[in-house]
Amino acid sequence: MSNHPIHTSAAPAALGPYSQAVITEGGATRMLFCSGQIGLDPATGQLREGFEAQVDQAFANMKAVIEAAGGSLASVVKLTLFLTDLAHFAVVNAKMEALFAKPYPARSTVEVSALPKGALFEVEAIVAL
């Protein structure tokens, strides 16, 4: 099995010692494991203002990483969502319905006390390539 890091300037650079995503290959199986994306604007490096704007930017960043690896949102099999306030759960559901077609990816949603840079939302993905 071999691992290949993915990097795109269309999403923010990693904030620490990790890759934006890693493709793992073993035989005919290719899986992409995307690191968490928050609502950082890749052009400015600044966190977008407001929950909805951060959700939109985080999903755009994740999409850019997935596309840099040769995938698409249609190939996402699992998402993990991190929210600092589960009161925004319905907002995230509406955003996901606009981005993903049925059958939707599997998903976990977790409320956390804090996220990097004071973000309100983070998303990570597992993608079948």
CB 73 within 8 A of CB 100: yes
Q: State whether the Cα torsion 36-40-41-45 is positive or negative.
A: negative
CA 112 distance to own-chain centroid: 16
The residue type of 86 is L
Domains of the chain listed by start with CATH number: 2-128 (3.30.1330.40)
pTM to 2 decimal places: 0.91
pLDDT of res. 15: 84
pLDDT of res. 121: 98
CB 121 within 8 A of CB 38: yes
For residue 106, give the nearest of 66, 76, 78, 73 by alpha carbon.
78
pLDDT below 50 — which residues of the chain? none
